[in-house]
A and B are shown apart, each in its own frame.
Chain A
Amino acid sequence: DSGVTQTPKHLITATGQRVTLRCSPRSGDLSVYWYQQSLDQGLQFLIQYYNGEERAKGNILERFSAQQFPDLHSELNLSSLELGDSALYFCASSVREDIQYFGAGTRLSVL
């Protein structure tokens, strides 16, 4: 168990809808990262938060947004969902950027 908790494990929704994925980092970790994993693209970095502030942005679509709350948990919001957004979404947390601990992921299915 990595200590990173993600909920829900699986989400099934329809195109055009909006969903929220939640992540609780390991105790003491200030950084939270969001990744998208698909078969053709592999693990793609979306965004990083550090102690409530956005630290780095990767290949995150404008339809996606994230935030980190004072208790350090984070949420990833995905809106106007398309079929191509179906993927595994992982959250990771760390004390240092080069060593990250991943949650079990949320599997998003857009029908």
Chain B
Amino acid sequence: QKEVEQDPGPLSVPEGAIVSLNCTYSNSAFQYFMWYRQYSRKGPELLMYTYSSGNKEDGRFTAQVDKSSKYISLFIRDSQPSDSATYLCAMSARDDKIIFGKGTRLHILP
């Protein structure tokens, strides 16, 4: 079983829709959970960071962590064409390297 599982997509949704992106993980030692956004031919950019179960909101983005189910989600409200990118979940244990998901390609259709 891989440490981090993420559906590669592509996921296509119409502009204005709510997007849900998800990852599951197997390592119960993971404490820090991140979402990175990567545009084509660019480096990953940190989008959201959380270290506890529950929800964290930042503008149109909400990160959700359920440690009991080993499941994390990223929700994008009022999606825009500029949100089209690859979204990578990432997580780490204390003082350990970050493990990345393979990324989900998202297309927002105008």
Residues on A lying within 8 angstroms of B by beta carbon are: 2, 4, 41-43, 45, 48, 56, 58, 90, 92, 97-105, 107
**Partner among A2, A41, A42, A56 whose Cβ is within 8 Å of the Cβ of B43:** A2
Cα–Cα distance between A92 and B45 once the two chains are bound (Å): 10
Contacts of B41 in A (CB 8 A): 104-105, 107
Contacts of B36 in A (CB 8 A): 102
Q: Interface size of B by Cβ–Cβ distance < 8 Å?
A: 22
Q: Is the interface of B mostly helix, strand, loop or mixed?
A: loop
If A42-B103, A43-B88 touch, whether A100 touches B98 (CB-CB below 8 Å) is yes
A-B pairs, 6 with minimum CB distance:
A102-B43, A42-B102, A43-B100, A98-B32, A102-B44, A104-B43
B34 at interface (Cβ–Cβ under 8 A)? yes
On whether the beta carbons of A56 and B97 are closer than 8 Å, the reply is yes
Contacts of B88 in A (CB 8 A): 42-43
Contacts of B58 in A (CB 8 A): none
Contacts of A100 in B (CB 8 A): 46, 98
Closest partner residue, chain B, to A6 (CB atom): B43
If A45-B98, A48-B97 touch, whether A99 touches B49 (CB-CB below 8 Å) is yes
**Partner among B34, B42, B43, B45 whose Cβ is within 8 Å of the Cβ of A98:** B34
Contacts of A58 in B (CB 8 A): 97
**B 31-52 binary contact with A (CB < 8 Å = 1; else 0):** 0101010000111111001010
On whether the beta carbons of A43 and B97 are closer than 8 Å, the reply is no
27 A–B contacts, CB within 8 A, in A order? A2-B45, A4-B43, A42-B88, A42-B101, A43-B44, A43-B88, A43-B100, A43-B103, A45-B97, A45-B99, A48-B97, A90-B43, A90-B44, A97-B95, A97-B98, A98-B49, A98-B51, A98-B98, A99-B34, A99-B49, A102-B36, A102-B43, A103-B43, A104-B42, A104-B43, A105-B42, A105-B43
B54-110 residues at the A interface, CB under 8 angstroms: 88, 92, 95-103
User: What is the minimal beta-carbon distance from B80 to any residue of chain A, in angstroms?
Assistant: 21
